[in-house]
C-alpha cells in the first residue's frame, strides 16, 4: 500500500501544474458537448498514462541517445501546438459550444495524443521524476507504484473535466470566448517556446 500511495501522490504532483493537457481538457469541458469533453478527457488520461509508463521505464534515455528524435518531436510538436492555439483564437463567440464546431472523434483523439506525446518538456520532466524514483524502488513494487500513477492520472483529468463541465452553464458566450482566447494565447506561447528550443538545438 505504501508503494501505491507513493505512486498516487507522484501522479497528482505531475498532473497538477497547469500545462497543455490541462488547458486542452478545460477548453473542451467549456466549449464542447458534455459527451465529447469526456471523450477528450479520457484520451488525454489514456495517452498520459502511456507516457508515464514509458517515462518510468526510460524513454528519456532513448531521446538522449537519438538526437534526431528529439529534434523531430520539437519541430512537429511546436508547429501543431501553434496551429491549435490559432484555431482557438479564431473561434467566434457564437460558435463556441455549438454542434457545428464540435471536434470530430479523430481530431479529439489526435489532438489529445499531440498534447501529450509531442511535448518534449513533459517527456523530459516525466523521465526525470519517474525515472529517478524508479531506481529507489524494489523491482517487485513496480506494478504497484505505476498503478498509483495510472489511477492519479485518470482521476485528475476525468475529475477536472467533471468540475469544469458542471459549471460551464454559468458562463455566457462572451466569457467562453475570453477563456478560449486566453487558452489559445497560452498554447501559442508554449508552441513558440518549443519552436525556440528546436532552433536552439539546431544551432548548437
CA dihedral 106, 103, 17, 6 (to 10 degrees): -50
Residue for grid cell 497543455: 20
Report the range out of 4-8, 27-31, 41-45, 69-73 with the highest average pLDDT. Answer: 41-45
Confidence of residue 153 (pLDDT cuts 50, 70, 90): very high
Let me know: does 186 contact 23? Beta carbons within 8 Å.
Answer: yes
The Cβ of residue 184 has, within 10 Å, a number of other Cβ atoms equal to 20
- The confidence score (pLDDT) of residue 57 equals 82
Let me know: does 92 contact 178? Beta carbons within 8 Å.
Answer: no
- The confidence score (pLDDT) of residue 49 equals 92
Pick left, alpha or beta for residue 97 (phi over 0 → left; psi -120 to 50 → alpha; otherwise beta): left
Between residues 161 and 171, which one has the greater pLDDT?
A: 161
Residue 122 has pLDDT above 90, yes or no: no
Residue 151 has pLDDT above 90, yes or no: yes
- Mean pLDDT across 119-135: 73
Residue 1 has pLDDT above 70, yes or no: no
Encode pLDDT of 64-112 as tens digits.
Answer: 677 787 788 778 777 877 887 787 777 655 445 544 456 678 888 888 8
In the chain, pLDDT over 70 holds for what percent of residues?
Answer: 85
Q: Angle CA(22)–CA(180)–CA(166) in degrees, nearest 5?
A: 60
| pTM tops 0.85, yes or no | no
Let me know: does 128 contact 13? Beta carbons within 8 Å.
Answer: no
Amino acid at each position: 500500500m505504501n508503494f501505491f500511495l507513493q505512486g498516487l501522490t507522484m501522479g497528482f504532483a505531475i498532473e497538477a501544474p497547469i500545462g497543455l493537457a490541462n488547458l486542452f481538457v478545460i477548453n473542451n469541458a467549456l466549449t464542447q458537448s458534455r459527451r465529447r469533453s469526456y471523450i477528450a478527457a479520457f484520451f488525454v488520461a489514456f495517452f498520459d498514462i502511456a507516457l508515464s509508463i514509458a517515462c518510468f521505464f526510460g524513454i528519456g534515455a532513448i531521446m538522449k541517445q537519438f538526437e534526431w528524435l528529439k529534434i523531430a518531436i520539437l519541430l512537429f510538436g511546436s508547429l501543431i501546438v501553434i496551429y491549435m492555439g490559432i484555431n482557438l483564437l479564431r473561434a467566434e463567440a457564437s460558435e463556441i459550444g455549438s454542434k457545428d464546431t464540435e471536434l470530430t472523434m479523430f481530431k479529439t483523439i489526435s489532438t489529445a495524443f499531440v498534447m501529450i506525446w509531442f511535448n518534449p518538456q513533459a517527456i523530459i520532466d516525466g523521465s526525470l521524476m519517474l525515472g529517478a524514483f524508479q531506481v529507489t524502488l524494489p523491482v517487485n513494487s513496480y506494478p504497484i507504484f505505476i498503478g498509483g500513477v495510472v489511477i492519479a492520472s485518470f482521476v485528475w483529468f476525468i475529475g477536472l473535466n467533471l468540475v469544469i463541465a458542471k459549471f460551464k452553464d454559468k458562463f455566457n458566450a462572451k466569457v467562453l470566448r475570453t477563456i478560449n482566447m486566453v487558452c489559445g494565447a497560452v498554447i501559442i506561447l508554449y508552441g513558440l517556446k518549443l519552436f525556440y528550443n528546436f532552433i536552439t538545438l539546431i544551432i548548437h
